[in-house]
Structure 1
Amino acid sequence: MPLKRRGPLQLAQREVEEIKKQVNIISCYLIFQADELAPVGNYDQRKQEEERRVQNILERLNTLSMELSPPGPSTEDSVEEDDNDDDEDDSDEEDVENDSSDDEDERRDVKPPSQSDPRIYVVLSDFKGEQEGDLSVRKGEVLRIIRKTADGWWLAQDTKGSRGVVPKTYLKVQKLNFNFLVFFVDRATHFHWCTVKKALTEIDATDVLSAMGAIPSGFRPSTLNKLLVEEGVTYRGSHYIQPQLSQSQLSFKDLFLDPDTGKVRARQVNTSVCFTLWGCRMIPTPGVGVQVLSRHIRLCAFDGTQVLSNIHVVRAAYNAKSPKTWSFSPRVTGILPTLLDGDCFLRCDSTSPNLGILFELGVTFIRNSTGERGDLSCGWAFLKLTDDAGNPLPNRTYELPVNGGTPYEKDVTQDMKDYQMLQARRQPKLIVKLKSANSRMQTQLSLLPDNLLHCLNCIHLLVLHRQLLADALLMDRPTMQNADLMCSPVLSTFPKLLDQPDLLDALRSAWLDAETNMNRAQKRDLSYRKLEFVKVYMSSVYFLLHSPSLSCHRWADPPSEAQRARVIYATLETLKNHQLTFDLLRLAR
């Protein structure tokens, strides 16, 4: 029987190399569009032309893949066998006959790949191999099917080259795209293909605006905002103020009562600090074409690999005369809004030696031409809370360098060179001051959950909520085994306030008015304070939460914020007038 022919394969390989060069040229064009200083003319048209060119290349690659990847063994096996033939030209015809017979057997099991019978599949759910020969895969992973069998266990190959059998019920057909190229090219060019795939499939508002020169090229999509959006309530303050259950799920691990005083028992954690955001210097400004809705800092506890607390947001004050300077805690009359308050605290029970506070500077913008919204990170800073010896940092002011990219990127120094201000050798700085808490503040902090980051001006409200939780969950239950439903509007709705700072400010204002009317003995009486707190809550915030005139809370939406402010102010004024009338009638009696 004749030996395997090498001529068509070599011709196809040379054609593939030419196609690789063309795609690499296209990738360079797409990736480095962001470095253009001037707006790109006819951007949408040029983008469509490049997409059509790449689509034509994909169609040619699809045709070649059907020739280079016959049914049965994978393309890599065929290439390896050809290499062996080059080293051993005197191979036996008997081996060739065996290979041919194997190919014929595999042709019976699977048809040639085509658009109607694709070979690229996406994993629907995690599968952990239990026997030898199984391939463990994760949800969303892309696989190439090498062989399909009647028993439903298909031979597959993942992006790392590992092979094994996977149940077909865990797989879904994936239309041929750049994922197929990951299997098709060699490892030396793997990075280029992934870059092309990302450039073509993940072109979003950030890429377009960078190409237009509307935002600096060092900006990135916000990492912490993505966690807030995609993870639901996992990283929100409303989740972290809820009491945590113990491992047995039968009791609480961070909520206890002092039997002698009836108050929440204090709990000490590994890290408890107070700090103030002073301001930011030399922060790059977006260019034309976008309107900035909010300049802010998102902050959380971070150990270098994962977020360990809720993600808190503090909005910065902006002065048009100094656009590269952000300030916090501005001098305003009345109560400083929670959203603008840079005085914060952090409680964290983590034992990680790399524990610190992660600050992500961000802007929320809207594109003028299309109305598209986006949230960008314009740098991040990290304050490690211990020195090299493991001792707590001293209380003083720190100037933290603002890095480019994202906190998970290993090399961000080069990324900062894209910032316009580095051309003048002036690096942006975030100014943070660590400060000590007085004895009263330390006592209040010890009553809060083990992991929480929030502003200092709301501690007294959080402590009262914590006391009401302990009363309802520990004191008022007939037995610890009782699991009857509880009716407590305050406890069920209070966590929502941490996700709606304007309502939290409304409660703080109403409670301040109530405390003003208390005498000294009433202020010291915890039972009286709890009853008054429930009354104030039910007559103000609870009413607002269920008011049809109050629109839904939307982040950085000026019309919605203005409408909510009007409703909240009008409601509080009405309640204050009613309370004043009630007090006058009581005095008249």
Structure 2
Amino acid sequence: MPPKRKGALQLIQREVDEKEKQVDNLVKDVRSQARSTEEAFRKCQELQMSAENTLRTLKKLTKADELAPVGNYDLRKKEEEKRLQNILEHLNTLSLELSPPGPSSVASNVSKTDSEDEDEDEDSNDDDDDDEEEEEEEEDEDEKRAMKPPSQSDTYIYKVLSDFQGEQVGDLSVQKGEALKVIRKTTDGWWLAQDSKGNRGVVPKTYLKISSGIDNNDDDDGEKDDDEEDDDDDENDEESLEDEEEEEGEELANDQDKQSKDLHSNWSTVRKALTEIDATDVLSAMGAIPSGFRPSTLNKLLVEEGVTYRGSHYIQPALSQSQLSFKDLFLDVETGRVRTRQVRTCVCFTLWNCRMIPTPGVGVQVLSRHIRLCAFDGTQVLSNIHTVRATYNSKSPKTWSFSPRMAGILPSLLDGDCFLRCSSTSPDLGVLFELGVTFIRNSTGERGELSCGWAFLKLTDDTGNPLPNKTYELQVNGGTPYEKNVALEASVIKGTGVFQQMLQAKRQPRLIIKLKSTNSRTRTQLSLLPDTLLHCLSCVHLLALHRQLLADTLLMDRPTMQNADLICSPVLSTFPLLLDQPDLLDALRAAWLEAEISMSRGQKRDLSFFKKEFVKVYMSSVYFLLHSPSLACHRWADPPSEEQRAKVIYATLDALKHTQQVNGQTGSPEVFLDPMHQHLAFDITELTFDLPHVAQ
């Protein structure tokens, strides 16, 4: 029987299989040094070109190109595209390692030999034919040497155009006019160089200009000998030309100096972005990052934008457009309570779990698995960014769980019951969930945060009506929220049947959440909060009490509404900090729960008594902890720091409780003067509330 003809897609699959083998063999040769660096680099470039051609051919394929119908054609085509993209990523990383450190000196050498040839032709009209043949042979040898590509060991002398002060560890500080020996060049624009003292470090290439070094002196000597043979008129002409060239060279150097200074002003931002991409590529090449992982987008906003996207900023009062009154804080004159406000969107939801989430590979230690969530309309973040940490079981590494059943009060960092209040009128408003891991590289100790995918839940249907309260299973996408159609790594089931497709669907990464309703008391407390805020439900009553104290101080106690003097209120000045330090928020929640248990029903209904007790509990618990010298600074996903803070918090609360029992009263000021309890020196900022500074 004649051999069965193969379809276009099947031929592509065989090509991809062959390329994977070739890449694996090339990597083995590079690691074992079986090939020279130049040969490996050329082979890497050939494979890159071949893989790109195959990828272009694959993208042009359609079902009509097949000899017979193919099941799951689009899925199979995407799988091959994904394999080719992985191959190209590996080859790009390998080419960076193998790329030669400097450019070929063809242009400089050719121009140099051309100028020398012209001088020799003018001065040697009387030479015989033998001399001309010898010169031609020497020129051919020079051209061959010039055309030879540089090797890995070649070094180049460069001149520094402008002063550069190192900003990070590994940078080399240089001064203008200094000569540097460039050891290695990289595609990110930061070249490894060595100065005259032997110091090594990286320098931006925009600060460097190639210099011929010692060869310049030899060329100058040759020019002097030629000038002695020329007449006086030629000397004058050449001197004038040299002067003009020097002036032009100085102007060019000044222009380059200005350009380099302008580039340096934005270089730190560009370098940071390049560094993140390169670090991800390196970890991906190591096999430590599955495909679809990216640097965390929401974490970058939290780190680089200060308090802009933190809960401590959104809990502050918002001023109206005139800046003379408040936009979302009003007082009910009849009851003395904060006036309730309904917003366009107010939902409560529960994070259940995440399934089939790829795990980082070897060489990386995971410090935290978590979800960062915020209000999002497809283009911008519309609320604070809230973080919920997941619990992890090594027996099921691809499953993340939230809100576990445990004794005592559930820490707010683990609380998957959340609420969102948002006043945005965008028709595409929803909740963005970014799954992330905080990791540390075992080899270098470098910390970082990666996004393991993201999911989005639009809060309205196609007709604009709110979504019903039920459980939703969301697909987790790879890449960033601004990338489309990026898949996460998932197990592939062979076969095209219905059963195989069902298995394949079950193995896709998913996030399960549930929209739910709350009781009337919680709904009332939510209506007292700012118009835009996202946080855990277990802290709503504390946020509502803070809102009441804020209204009393700003709307009742101020002499006039236009008064902007500093206000003495330790509670208002420090309470927002608790939203950025969940362990202290848990300490306040525990202390206030104990105080509520000891209150009678009548005391709980007395708003004045209730507020006074809350201030006393606050001052005798978290306010004292905030300014305790033994409490380490809060640091995200740092187990030693978290354990040390937990010990100090529980020990301090027990000691303060014992002191209160001895004194017989809560919130006694004597605790701050007791030599047994150390306290940082008082500062005016911890006692005063600066309204113009903190208001939104």
> Partners of 1:553 and 1:64 in 2: how far apart?
62
Q: Which amino acid aligns with 1:56?
A: P
Q: Which amino acid aligns with 2:635?
A: R
In the alignment, which residue of structure 2 is the partner of 1:223? 297
Deviations 1:544-579 (A, max 9, x none): 000010000000000000000000010111122233
Count, aligned residues = 447
**Displacement, 1:483?**
2.0
In the alignment, which residue of structure 1 is the partner of 2:172? none
Q: Which amino acid aligns with 2:424?
A: S
- CA gap of 1:391–1:537, structure 2 versus 1, over 3 A, is same
Verify: 1:236 aligned to 2:310, yes or no.
yes
> Partners of 2:260 and 2:659 in 1: how far apart?
64
> Partners of 2:512 and 2:483 in 1: how far apart?
23
In the alignment, which residue of structure 2 is the partner of 1:456? 537
> Partners of 1:219 and 1:372 in 2: how far apart?
17
**SS of structure 1 residue aligned to 2:354:** strand
Deviations 1:407-450 (A, max 9, x none): 011332xx33x445688732011000000122111111100000
TM-score (norm 1): 0.69
In the alignment, which residue of structure 2 is the partner of 1:35? 86
1:90-169 pair list within 5 angstroms: none
Q: Which amino acid aligns with 1:172?
A: K
Deviation larger for 394-403 or 422-431 = 422-431
> Partners of 1:36 and 1:201 in 2: how far apart?
21
Verify: 1:50 aligned to 2:101, yes or no.
no
Verify: 1:338 aligned to 2:412, yes or no.
yes
**Displacement, 1:211?**
0.7
1:371-386 pair list within 5 angstroms: 371-386=445-460
Deviations 1:236-286 (A, max 9, x none): 000000001111111111111111111111111000000000001111111
> Partners of 1:255 and 1:475 in 2: how far apart?
12
**SS of structure 2 residue aligned to 1:534:** helix
- CA gap of 1:201–1:257, structure 2 versus 1, over 3 A, is closer
In the alignment, which residue of structure 1 is the partner of 2:376? 302
* Contact kept? 2:284, 2:291, Cα under 8 Å: yes
Return the structure number with greater helix share: 2
**Displacement, 1:60?**
6.9
Q: Which amino acid aligns with 1:502?
A: D
In the alignment, which residue of structure 2 is the partner of 1:181? none
In the alignment, which residue of structure 2 is the partner of 1:315? 389
Deviations 1:286-343 (A, max 9, x none): 1111111000000000000000000000000111111111110001100000000000
In the alignment, which residue of structure 1 is the partner of 2:422? 348
Deviations 1:95-121 (A, max 9, x none): xxxxxxxxxxxxxxxxxxx97789xxx
- CA gap of 1:572–1:421, structure 2 versus 1, over 3 A, is farther
**SS of structure 1 residue aligned to 2:456:** strand
- CA gap of 1:494–1:357, structure 2 versus 1, over 3 A, is same
In the alignment, which residue of structure 1 is the partner of 2:351? 277
In the alignment, which residue of structure 2 is the partner of 1:396? 470
**Displacement, 1:214?**
1.5
In the alignment, which residue of structure 1 is the partner of 2:609? 528
> Partners of 2:555 and 2:273 in 1: how far apart?
55
- CA gap of 1:300–1:49, structure 2 versus 1, over 3 A, is closer
> Partners of 2:299 and 2:514 in 1: how far apart?
24
* Contact kept? 2:45, 2:95, Cα under 8 Å: no
> Partners of 2:363 and 2:103 in 1: how far apart?
33
Verify: 1:542 aligned to 2:616, yes or no.
no
- CA gap of 1:435–1:544, structure 2 versus 1, over 3 A, is same
Verify: 1:518 aligned to 2:592, yes or no.
no
In the alignment, which residue of structure 2 is the partner of 1:252? 326
Deviations 1:504-549 (A, max 9, x none): 0000000001111100011111111111111111111011000010
In the alignment, which residue of structure 2 is the partner of 1:487? 568
Deviation larger for 231-240 or 24-33 = 24-33
- CA gap of 1:266–1:208, structure 2 versus 1, over 3 A, is same
> Partners of 1:548 and 1:62 in 2: how far apart?
64
**Displacement, 1:581?**
3.4
* Contact kept? 2:44, 2:95, Cα under 8 Å: no
* Contact kept? 2:490, 2:509, Cα under 8 Å: no
Verify: 1:507 aligned to 2:588, yes or no.
yes
Deviations 1:197-251 (A, max 9, x none): 9997655432221111112122111010011011111000000000011111111
> Partners of 1:61 and 1:248 in 2: how far apart?
65
**Displacement, 1:487?**
1.1
> Partners of 1:225 and 1:461 in 2: how far apart?
26
In the alignment, which residue of structure 2 is the partner of 1:477? 558
In the alignment, which residue of structure 2 is the partner of 1:556? 637
Deviations 1:185-205 (A, max 9, x none): xxxxxxxxx9xx999765543
* Contact kept? 2:48, 2:88, Cα under 8 Å: no
* Contact kept? 1:282, 1:421, Cα under 8 Å: no
> Partners of 2:602 and 2:647 in 1: how far apart?
36
Q: In structure 2, which of residues 261, 271, 287 is the aligned counterpart of residue 172 of structure 1?
A: 261
**Displacement, 1:478?**
1.1
> Partners of 2:552 and 2:106 in 1: how far apart?
71
Q: Which amino acid aligns with 1:340?
A: L
* Contact kept? 2:374, 2:385, Cα under 8 Å: yes
> Partners of 2:382 and 2:258 in 1: how far apart?
36
In the alignment, which residue of structure 1 is the partner of 2:481? 407
**SS of structure 2 residue aligned to 1:172:** helix
1:176-195 pair list within 5 angstroms: none
* Contact kept? 1:399, 1:429, Cα under 8 Å: yes
- What stretches of structure 1 of length at least 5 have no aligned partner? 1-20, 66-113, 119-141, 143-153, 155-165, 179-193
**Displacement, 1:27?**
7.5
Query: Whose RCO is larger (CA < 8 A, sep 6+)?
Result: 1
- CA gap of 1:466–1:201, structure 2 versus 1, over 3 A, is closer
* Contact kept? 1:39, 1:213, Cα under 8 Å: no
RMSD: 3.8
**SS of structure 1 residue aligned to 2:567:** coil
* Contact kept? 2:276, 2:295, Cα under 8 Å: no
* Contact kept? 1:269, 1:349, Cα under 8 Å: yes
**SS of structure 2 residue aligned to 1:52:** coil
**SS of structure 1 residue aligned to 2:317:** coil
Deviations 1:375-427 (A, max 9, x none): 01111000000000000000000000101111011332xx33x4456887320
* Contact kept? 1:347, 1:453, Cα under 8 Å: yes
**Displacement, 1:33?**
11
* Contact kept? 1:301, 1:308, Cα under 8 Å: yes
> Partners of 1:237 and 1:522 in 2: how far apart?
31
In the alignment, which residue of structure 1 is the partner of 2:237? none
In the alignment, which residue of structure 2 is the partner of 1:160? none
Deviations 1:459-482 (A, max 9, x none): 000001111111111100111122
Q: Which amino acid aligns with 1:50?
A: L
> Partners of 1:571 and 1:526 in 2: how far apart?
29
> Partners of 2:109 and 2:381 in 1: how far apart?
46
- CA gap of 1:51–1:488, structure 2 versus 1, over 3 A, is farther
> Partners of 1:199 and 1:52 in 2: how far apart?
24
> Partners of 2:106 and 2:624 in 1: how far apart?
64
Q: Which amino acid aligns with 2:324?
A: L
**Displacement, 1:22?**
11
- CA gap of 1:116–1:295, structure 2 versus 1, over 3 A, is closer
**SS of structure 2 residue aligned to 1:209:** helix
> Partners of 2:466 and 2:106 in 1: how far apart?
62
* Contact kept? 2:477, 2:485, Cα under 8 Å: no
Q: Which amino acid aligns with 1:407?
A: P
